[in-house]
Structure 1
Amino acid sequence: MAGIGFTLRKMTGRGDLWGIMQAYSYSAILSSGPWLFTILALVGITFLARYLVTWDDLLLFRTIITYNFSFSLVFCGPIVMVGTRLLADQIHEDTLHRAPSLLFSMMLAYVLVVTAPMIWLYSYATDMSAAQRAAAIAGGYLIGLIWTVVVFVSALKNYAFVSGIFFAGMMLALVACGYLLGDYGATGLMWGFNAGLALILFGLLGWIFVEYPALPRDLAILPRQGRHYWVLAISGLSYNIAIWVDKWVMWLRDGNVDVVAGILRTAPYYDSAMFLSYLFTIPVFAVFFVNIETSFFEKYNRFYKSFQKHATYMTIDSYQREIVNFTLLSLRNLAVLTGLLAILIVLSAPFILETMKIPFKEIGVFRFGALGACLHILAMFAMVFLSYFDFRKPVMLLNIIFMVANCTFTWLTASHFALHGMGYFLAAVLTFSLAMGFLVYYLKRLAYGAFITNNPSI
């Protein structure tokens, strides 16, 4: 992600307020595009459709979108993590003519992995019409394929086009849903939303083919080269399960769930409060993307290039201390920013829930979710720093701990309404604490890790 971040950082250096606003707005879209698109589109479509379709149709539409995002993220997790590493290797080795092959290999892998469970779920297990089944399956494919394409978009420099295509897709979804919902209800909403997703997917693919014009010739590149990065695959799978496992537990354990299409369970009050709490962390993503990751990458690059230049130990040690100081100072500043953000969200929770038409009884879930989300992203940033230095197994361990803790704590607190959301919060506290401990431990051993533990020649 640091590639396009350098371009955005130049905008903040122009010295005018408009440049700063542009840079952070683009950063928010680029770092959270599919998620931000879906939240905004769902809010707009729900407002548009509230008085034009039945509650059952609206609930079916929102449930299908939730399930598609849930399972597409989980199935894409290993593919995206390994694919990101392989793309980084191609950039480093100046072999980007292989990028189209990698992209198609990732897309093919997702289609092969997700087809059987998705067709079983929507075609046989649920009670929907044929058009609704087809729309649900198409949406599952589109969302997952967008996750794979976004990996390649992050390496491009055309932030204006990327942002514009997400905005155009959101507007098309709103217009198409508004046109179709009157005559077709939930079916029209699902196909209208798919139209917006399709515009985003094919628009991004078109730009990628412009940037990487080589033909895809090796569709087996992902499994062949990716097998060396199995740790990353487990890490991506466990991380995405960790994000969703508390929702799955609540769908099973909460006594106030809605059952849709015969089998699909959802806890709309819990889900809405948690999704809304995630939305408020986007400004922190933008700050990290534009300012911190780009500056960190410069220091990181200088540290490793000093090896190639046969620098002295004193020079290497000075670069290492510079990285340690910058990383810990950046995380401290981010902790202050997210802490202030969390306090603001907690204090303004009644106003936010009233504005978003979320029942006031979910204020506890929203507050726990906001606090947990702030700690969650700090832990994620710590794992990003660890990943830069190729400490794959510690990151995998952190993600597995987060997954198990979120499942366990949510299961233990699910039967107590006042504790809803606390399971996720406690899991985030534990993961953040361990991530910071791991980061400090490994940062102090960067040179040893580079020369010994992560040296492929030893």
Structure 2
Amino acid sequence: MAGIGFELKKLFRATGVLGVLRAYGYTGMITAGPMLLGIFYLMGVGIIGSYFGLDEHNRELLTSMITYNLLISLMVTSIFSMVVTRYISDMLYQENEDEVLSSLSGVLFFILPIGCLFYGVFQMLFDTDIIRLVLNLTMLAELLCVWMMMNYLTAIKNYKGILIGYVISIIVSLGGAVVACHFVAVSIELLLLFVCLGYGVMMCVDLALLYQYFPAKTQNYFSFLHWIDEYRSLVIIGFFSSIGLYSHLVIAWFSGVGKHIEGQYYGAPQHDIAALFAFLTILVTNINFVASVEVHFYPKYRKYYDLFNGKGSISEIEVAEKEMKEVLLHELVYTARRQFYTTALMLSIGMTLLNKLPLGFDDLMDGYFRILCVGYGVYAIGNVIMLILMYFTDYEGAGISTIIFAVISTVGSVISIGFNVRFYGFAFALGSMAYLVYCILRLYFFLQNIPYHILASQPMVRREKRRFFTFLGEDLNKNLKQSRVFKKRKIVAEDNKSGGQ
């Protein structure tokens, strides 16, 4: 959904340092808040557990549990995330706000059983501890809700409310864990419980914010399924982006640097810790994309398309196209330059700082950090260009780019298992480079003929794509309405009967 809200735009126009810091802080919270919160919990519970005497094996097991929940929830929600975002955007554009919130219940109807059933069976095959099973399923369900709600929260632009939710979540989770460990013996179950409480608080705050903004009047919970038929490429983009981004982590768990922790849990601490800190370097580009590209590029983009939809002359359209391209090129170069500086800074000063922290960094981890910093940096720039392709509704090009990224990163990571452990991470970097090159070429050729793509490439007659998911959504909505009508008639009949008696 293009546009970051008038409140944030106003902050970016401010000249004071405080206003700029607030603007970037809010932007970071919107773009990367849940992911940062997950990383914060991973590090926080580890530190708390270590302080109160939790042994290394149990700390690794706890970290692995949280990591499994994060990755599974991200993979499941990636199937629907892009489609739901497009659905919300279309409903807001059509001024059908009544239809927005009902779709949240509909998408949760699918992802909660899919995620929890899969993970529940997976857990029961290896782990018979009922308390851990319940806590892990609770966390997974909360994460599924939180990730999906973020698609809706970006629409309401209530930055302060979202920030308050994060703060309360952290206080309840980590603050509560510290207090509890003072009075109760520290354990995996106790720390896992407070992580669940933290995400539960965040979920409730997010839900309250959504109900304050969107009216909950309609009950067309499954209308969004039609958007899967209309925009199937969005499912591909979301799913393969996640595959490319996370598959190399999972593959490393079963490589020469990986280790079996307990039961179904595996990890590769040397690779995972390096990847975690390397991943943080792309936050600069994610924030800069929203803060820079949307603030400066989006108005030019909107003006250009409005001229096609309105009464713009050919000369006005040509001038607007030139301005839009110039601004886009400037912002992309600016974003890439910032990411390059950030990566270079982390490879020099960042390496020194990480080696001084009690994280156990050695030569192997230093090597992983270097190559993954480069890989994530290249990925971040490629991802920004892919998002620009989606701005221009080139979903086909965006989908192909994510498939290239996922295939090269995943297949390359599998092949690299047969090589020396020092080569892990190169496959992800190679996949990121292929991703970037394809996105650059695709955007270049697209912009060369942008009037053609806007006008001539469109079908002469608009035909609605009504396939399996459309019919499924209509049947589910119809059956739901019929069951409600039946219940109302039954209640009325019982009331009449009791009144007659």
Q: Aligning the two structures, in what range does the TM-score lie when normalised by the shorter sequence?
A: over 0.9
RMSD in angstroms over aligned alpha carbons?
Answer: 1.7
**SS of residue paired to 1:260:** strand
Query: For 2:379 and 2:78, how far apart are their aligned partners in 1?
Result: 17
Q: Which moved more, 1:18-27 or 1:349-358?
A: 349-358
Who is 2:193 aligned against?
191
User: Structure 2: which amino acid aligns with 1:185?
Assistant: S
1:40-189 alignment runs, 5 A limit: 40-52=40-52, 53-122=54-123, 124-181=124-181, 182-183=184-185, 185-189=187-191
**SS of residue paired to 2:4:** helix
Q: Which moved more, 1:178-187 or 1:48-57?
A: 178-187
Query: For 1:27 and 1:356, how far apart are their aligned partners in 2?
Result: 31
**SS of residue paired to 1:256:** coil
Q: Does 1:449 align with 2:450?
A: no
Who is 2:22 aligned against?
22
TM-score (norm 2): 0.87
Query: For 1:353 and 1:173, how far apart are their aligned partners in 2?
Result: 29
8 A Cα contact 2:116 2:140, kept in partner: no
Query: For 1:44 and 1:28, how far apart are their aligned partners in 2?
Result: 20
Q: Does 1:374 align with 2:377?
A: yes
Q: Does 1:364 align with 2:367?
A: yes
User: Structure 2: which amino acid aligns with 1:384?
Assistant: L
Who is 1:346 aligned against?
347
Who is 2:237 aligned against?
235
Quote the offset at 1:245 in angstroms: 0.7
Which ranges in structure 2 are unaligned for 5 or more consecutive residues? 463-501
Q: Which moved more, 1:440-449 or 1:77-86?
A: 440-449
Alignment identity in percent?
19
Which ranges in structure 1 are unaligned for 5 or more consecutive residues? none
Query: For 1:131 and 1:33, how far apart are their aligned partners in 2?
Result: 29
8 A Cα contact 2:3 2:294, kept in partner: no
Q: Which moved more, 1:61-70 or 1:403-412?
A: 403-412
**SS of residue paired to 1:232:** helix
8 A Cα contact 1:104 1:216, kept in partner: no
Cα 1:223–1:112 change in 2 (3 A) is farther
1:174-323 alignment runs, 5 A limit: 174-181=174-181, 182-183=184-185, 185-252=187-254, 254-323=255-324
User: Structure 1: which amino acid aligns with 2:317?
Assistant: I
Who is 1:424 aligned against?
428
Count of residue pairs the alignment pairs up: 456
Query: For 1:112 and 1:157, how far apart are their aligned partners in 2?
Result: 30
Query: For 2:300 and 2:39, how far apart are their aligned partners in 1?
Result: 35
Who is 1:409 aligned against?
412
Structure number with larger C-alpha Rg: 2
Cα 1:416–1:154 change in 2 (3 A) is same
| 1:210-261 alpha-carbon deviations (Å, 9 max, x no partner) | 1012235012122234321111111111111111110121112x22323233
Q: Which moved more, 1:190-199 or 1:300-309?
A: 300-309
Query: For 1:7 and 1:295, how far apart are their aligned partners in 2?
Result: 15
Query: For 1:82 and 1:238, how far apart are their aligned partners in 2?
Result: 14
8 A Cα contact 1:383 1:395, kept in partner: yes
User: Structure 1: which amino acid aligns with 2:127?
Assistant: D
Query: For 1:315 and 1:358, how far apart are their aligned partners in 2?
Result: 60
Query: For 2:78 and 2:442, how far apart are their aligned partners in 1?
Result: 23
8 A Cα contact 2:73 2:140, kept in partner: yes
| 1:261-310 alpha-carbon deviations (Å, 9 max, x no partner) | 31222112111111111112212222221221132221111111111223
